[in-house]
Each structure stands twice: as C-alpha cells, then as structure tokens.
Chains A and B, each alone.
Chain A
Amino acid sequence: MGEWSIAAAGTAGQGVQTIGEVITVAARKQGYAVFSWKEYESRIRGGQNSYRIRVSEDPKNAPVERMDIVLALNMEAAEKYGFLVKRDGLLLAPESSNKNALAMDFQALANESAGKKIFANAAAAGALAAAMGMNPQGVKSELAARFTEKGAESVAGNESAFQAGYDHAMALCKERRTPSIPDRDQRPEALTNVHEAIAIGAAYAGCRAIFAYPMTPSTNIIGQMAARWEDLGVFWEQVEDEIAAINMAIGASYAGARAMTATSGGGFSLMAEGISLAGMTETPLVIVLAQRPGPATGLPTRTAQGDLQFALNAGHGEFPKIVLAPSDPKEAFHLTVKAFNMADKYQAPVIILTDQHLSDAHFTQDIHPEESEPEYHLARDCENPPYRRYAITREGISPRMYPGQSEHLVCADSDEHDESGHITEDLFNTAPAMAEKRLRKIKAMEREIPEAFTHVPSKSEIILMGWGSSGNALFEAAEQLTQEGRRTGVIHFTHLWPFPELPPLQGEKLFSVENCAFPQLARLVRQETGLSFTGSVLRYDGLPLTGTYIRDLILESL
C-alpha cells in the first residue's frame, strides 16, 4: 500500500464529521497513520463541507489536492467536490454523474435495511469502508461506540445501514481498482492536534489562566481548557471582548500567574493596544493568533497566513516581542512551553501564530513532553532593597516579583516610568534609559532563537522558503520537484521574531511559499537579510497549501 486520500462531503448536519471521525479512528486501529483536515462554511446547518482523510503506513502529515475517493452525501456535494477525484479515482454519490461515479442511494439503502432514512450516513460509511478496502468490523464497532449513548435501537439501525451500504458497494466495486487497507500489526503514533497541543503544552508550562472571547478558529484552545478543566487545571474565563481578554491576562500575569489569551485576526486587532501595554509594563504574556483570511470578517472558517506582518508589528511604540509559528502538534507543544519560558524570562509578549488549517487538522505524531521543561523566572526575594520593579540591568531584565509576595511593593506603569514604577517626565535621563533597557532585552532573546530549519541538498536548483503551517507541504513539494529532476531544498521558519540566522545560500532560485496574497515572508526576509527572491507561491483561496499546489506553481514560474 502507498497511501490513500479520501474526502467525505455533505451538508452540515448530514454526518460528514461522524463519518470522518469513525473512518479515522478505525484506520488507526487497523495500524495506519491518518492525517485529517476539514474545510467548511461559516454556518451551523446547510452549506457543503468536506472532511479529508489521508491514510498511509508511515505518517504523511500534510493535506493533498486530489482524492482517491470522494464520498458525496448529496448531489450538490458531488457537483462541488467531484473535481477532486483523481483520474482513476472514485466518486460515491446518490446518483451517477460520470464514469468515475458509483450511484448509491444512501437514504434508500438506510430505509430498506434499517427502516429509517436517518441512518443514511451509516450506509454511506459502509460504502466508503468497502470502497477503501477497510476491515468492516473495525468501522462498525467505532460506529457502534459513537451511538451507544443513543440506545440499542440507534446502534442496531446504524449497524444494519452500515452493512447494507458496505455490501452494496462491495458488489459495485468488484470491477474496479480500489484501495486496499488490510489490518497491519502496527501501532501508529498518537493522533494529535495543534490547538490541543497548545492547551496541554500551556498547562504543562505552568499556565494558570486563559481569558478569551470566542472567535473561529481560535475557540478550541479555551474550549480545551473548559472541557478538560479537571485534567488541565487551567482557570478559564470567557470575557466580553478581546480588549478585556488581553487586559485580564496581563492583570493575572502582573499578579504572578502564567496567563494567556487566544484569538483570530479581528480580535487580535483589538488586542494590539494590550500587546503594547505588556511591552511597556514588561508583563509576560502568551497570545495565540489563529489566522483566517481577512481583511475584516474575511472568510471566517477558512485558512490563511495573512497576519504575519501584522503580528510582527502589532502594538504602538517600540518594545521587544517574540513571534513563533509551529507547523505541527509536536512543534506547537514545545514552542508553547518555550513561549511561556521566554515570556517569563524576558517579561515580554510572545505571539504564537497558527491558522484554521492547524486548528482543525489531526496529525499522526507522538509528542515527547520531556524534551521541554518549564523554567520559572519570578524572583523569590529582593536581593538589593529597596525593590525596584524596573531596576536597570546590563541585559535589561529586571527582577520580577508579584504583588502580595512580600513586603516589597510591585509598581507597574503604562506611562514612561522610573525604576520604581512611578511616572516620569525626566526626558534627560530616565525616559531614554528606560527605552534602552527594554530594547536591550532583544540581544539576549536573539541567543535563544535557533537558525531557521534548513534542508538544502548540495547542487539544489530551487529553495522553497515558508513558515508555520505549510512545513510538511513544503517538504512534499521539494520531494516531488527533486524526483522530477529539479533538485529542491527547503528553509522553514518556526521562529519569526527576533529574526533567526540563515545559512549562506549558493545562488539557488529562492521562492517564498505563503498562504496569503501578498509575499509577506519575502518582505521580512528581504528586510532582514537583503536576499532577493525569484518569485513567490501564494495561495489565498482560503484552503491550505499542498505539495502539489506548490510544485505546480513552481514549475509554471520556472
């Protein structure tokens, strides 16, 4: 077996999610790695959405363009997603529309076998399991597990419909080349998600509180904290707006708690003032910015990397900040721990950039928490009384205590202030000294920023440069191009600010690859290094970058 890509598509509420999840879990139990992702409209019922699954022996944690099988639960879905089917692929739909399509009336199958049309999605799951060549028992038992709560009648109905769909599809598929996913004696790595890894990573890193306002695609971070309160132990509060969210997090952090917030572009705009406040008051703060396409409300449930320059420049005035961008759950976990450690150490805001794709995708990937360790930097006592919250030091980092910790008073101010935290108008000495003290922290921060991840084989013709969520797509594109005789390397950024060092380049054709309409990464790299680019691969249709998409555009532009 190589790998198989499947899309289940239908209208919201039709069971697409259930089918996707059941197939995912069953394939994993059969011993396979699964990567899944979703694309959907901004509505609760109706519309047409799809759940994509990539099944392979070894983990292939990136989205793909074309599908071996598309399961369409209705004809609108068949029309919208039919083009995704590979030339030798298969479309399973209620009616036949082309040579690749197998007509299966899921509702009729459900009605005949289980007496109710409502079991149509179980019939569809059965058809899909057959077309995928999966072990039907595994899928059936996952389906049963999901409906146990609804009672024996529901379980029995689902099982009958599933079997009917499975048998029907087996008969129809006999003549075709279809996938085969036999049981294998392997235990795949864990099924993980970036925002889940951020939530668990935050709890491990000592985060004690999250304050947030619901905004897709960031909501599942505070959602994890709320749903898993007993496990994670992180206090959470849904607040009235993003301004309150960031200010509450700053208040909690000033009071000594590791605190965070999470939002998307519009909410992040409201937070810009607060980011500046954290910079001025030197209050540690972790902010997750889960991107979606803008401007304004944009495409609320879609993906993008369009807020890179905004994140780098958010907040008025000049102050140090750190910007990190994981591409998968493992990086998300470790970068989250690093974000809390660095925020604490440098007393500065840290922004973690993710996006809708990462928010909804599930990866097959183990995370080893012991590879990161929470480090705490609160001063346990005042070494040189009287305590001065903003004492000027060589590296610019002042000992930070928390209010109520001892008789030492902790005074923080958003006005320019003196070492004790009181307002100053001393333009001659204090104000410039304080500005310099804050900016000196950048030097120390830079030492903790590793060189950008670089995999450029010698004699490469092309280098693809990207950041954050597109990581695995970049590597797949480079692999495809290399196999086609265009040797290609990759430079991928997970640390964006302070800007990391780059290895010396050998005159390769340099392309930035970005999930947005304007080459923002290229601008950043040019600004920091003077490097010039041959071109950029830009995707701004709200869907994630894939290896094929990148490869096609690179070949077009060569």
Chain B
Amino acid sequence: MSDNSNLFDIDVPSQWCPGCPNFTILETLKKSFTALGLKPQDICLVSGIGQAAKLPHYIKCNFFNGLHGRALPVATGVAAANPMLKTVVTTGDGDCYGEGGNHFLHAMRRNPDITLIVHNNEIYALTKGQASPTTRSGEVRALNPQGTTAPPFNPLAAAIISGCTFVARGFTGDSAQLAELFQAALTHEGLSLVDVVQPCITWKPHPLQWYKDRAKRLPDDHDPQDRASALAMAMEMEETFYTGLYYRADPSPAFAGSCHEQRAYLPMAEQQGLSLEKTRALLQ
C-alpha cells in the first residue's frame, strides 16, 4: 500500500501540529484514492480556510484553496465545469457548518457530485480555541469562559433532512472504517458527506479517552436505506458518536447532470461558444 500511496505524496512541509489526527485523515484519503485507481490529475481538492483546509497542500493533485466557508460553492463550480474530475472538499466544522452554513444547506439540496469531508473537532483550532458550531452546550472555549449556551449543530441530521443522499460519520481512531467510508463516498455520484470526528490534541476540548468511550460503530442491523432510522441515529449524538454509513439513497439526479449528458461529459473548457452566424441571427 505504501508504494501506491507515493503517487500522492508531495514534498511540502506540513503546518499541522505534530501528531494531529489530521494526518490520519490525510493518509487515509491518499490510500482511498489509490484503492480506487485514481491518479493525481483525476482529482480536484477544494478547501476554504482552517487547519482542515490546508490538507490539499499535502496531497499531490489539483487543488483550489479558497476563502473561509466558501469551499462548497467553488467545488460546485468545478463540478459543473468538469464532470470528469473527482471533486473533493476538505473542510472543518467552523468552515463548513459556521461560515459556510448556508452553502452547506443548499449543497445538500443541489446535490453536486462532490465528496465532502468535514474534519469535526468541535473547536476553532487555527484561531486558538474558540467554540465551533458543533461545540456542545456548556463547554468552555476561548470566548466562552462561562461555557457555551447554544446547542450544537447536528450536521448529519441536517444533511439527512435536507436531501443529502450519502451521510456518514467516521472517526480518526478507526482508520479502517474511515477508508471504507471515503471510498464509498468517492464512488457515490452525488453529494456525499463524511463528518469525521477528530480529537484536537493541542486545544484538547476533551481527552482522547473521551472520544474512544463515545465512538461506536453503527449497529450491524442499521439499514442505511431507511431514512427515518438514519435520522433517529443521527439525533442520538449526546453520549455516543455512531460511526459508519447512516444514510444512502439513489443520488440521481445530480446537479448539472442533464447538461453534462447533453455535452457528452466534455469539460466546459473544451466547449465552443455561440457561432458567429447564430449570434448574428439572435441579434436581429
């Protein structure tokens, strides 16, 4: 496996804290690309701002590292313009669920063919320890010395009710399952959400054991085609992080699908504009 992973290795020094579970997500993603037989040129990573958003710099592939919260719209534009690319967003809980919240909701409805990987550590790490949208109420953060009062955003439940057809949660402590989820998400031909529970080892909102106690794989009898039970499991986030594939449905129609089909999946960069004759006729 390590030989194949080299295809995606790049000599760029990391800005992450040593030992960060981000490295697990990075390596698992590289392995998943390899397992699917993808090459660097097939992939376009899109990110916003935050620690998770730096990930594209550490994989050899195409990438667009844009603005805070705006990864999904940029990726949607990429997916519209070139359906042959495997478009992947790497983002964090603040980037995706906070600053980019409106885009998150509407991406679920719009359903572009994008794999959305959210590094969810329940904290703003790059700006030094503030609460994030997924911080549990009552927890102390840099700007909430008395504890946060707002309840946490529930991304999985929001995704399921908003029309997302692939909703999963992974845990950096279970890289084998994470690889399975990434590969399934990458082959899903619509928007796929993988929310990854990722302990922050620097700001330590919780000790590592806290996560290990709470992360459990979804029960074997969970049926990911059952939307109501997927939603029920997603609502049970208080004491347990169920990991695995919550919900999966037929992704068609995907965003811009009929346009892509009509143009035989030709990238927009290779398409012709309106001819002079037709332009002249339309201007009469």
- Please give the residue numbers on chain A whose beta carbons come within 8 Å of chain B beta carbons, in ascending order: 190, 192, 197, 200, 203-209, 211, 228, 231-233, 235, 237, 239-241, 243-245, 247-259, 273-274, 277, 281, 333, 366-367, 369-370, 374, 378, 402-415, 421-423
Contacts and interface: CB of A to CB of B under 8 A. Distances in A.
B41 A412 contact: no
A409 B56 CA distance: 12
A408 to B, nearest CB: 8
Contact of B274 (A204, A259, A405, A408): A204
B103 interface: yes
A415 B12 CA distance: 15
Given A204-B276, A209-B80, A244-B73, A403 B44 contact: yes
Given A281-B66, A423-B57, A206 B273 contact: yes
A224 to B, nearest CB: 10
Contacts of A257: 77, 80-82, 267-269, 271
Contact of B78 (A255, A413, A414): A255
4 closest A-B pairs by CB: A251-B77, A256-B269, A257-B268, A206-B273
16 contacts: A197-B283, A200-B274, A205-B273, A228-B282, A235-B80, A243-B70, A244-B103, A251-B64, A254-B78, A255-B267, A256-B267, A257-B77, A367-B283, A403-B78, A409-B60, A423-B15
Given A208-B81, A423-B57, A277 B66 contact: yes
A274 B67 CA distance: 8
Contacts of B283: 190, 192, 197, 200, 333, 366-367, 369
Contacts of A251: 46, 64, 73-81
A413 to B, nearest CB: 4
Interface in B233-284: 255-256, 259, 267-274, 276, 278-280, 282-284
Given A244-B73, A248-B76, A423-B57, A405 B269 contact: yes
Contacts of B44: 255, 403-404
Interface in B92-114: 102-103, 105-106, 110
B211 interface: no
A233 B274 contact: yes
Contacts of A378: 269
A247 B65 contact: no
Interface in B129-177: none
B24 interface: no
B232 interface: no
Contact of A409 (B62, B78, B255, B273): B62
Interface in B34-78: 39-42, 44, 46, 49, 54, 56-57, 60-67, 70, 72-78
A233 B259 CA distance: 9
B20 interface: no
B210 to A, nearest CB: 32
A404 B77 contact: no
B44 to A, nearest CB: 5
A237 B107 CA distance: 12
Contacts of B268: 208-209, 235, 252, 255-258
Contact of B67 (A209, A254, A414): A414
B26 interface: no
A192 B49 CA distance: 44
B73 A248 contact: yes
B84 interface: yes
Contacts of A410: 62
B162 to A, nearest CB: 12
Of the listed residues B62, B106, B272, B284, the one surrounded by the most CB atoms of chain A closer than 10 A to its CB is B62
Given A243-B103, A408-B41, 8 more contacts: A190-B283, A235-B256, A239-B106, A248-B77, A255-B268, A370-B276, A403-B82, A409-B62
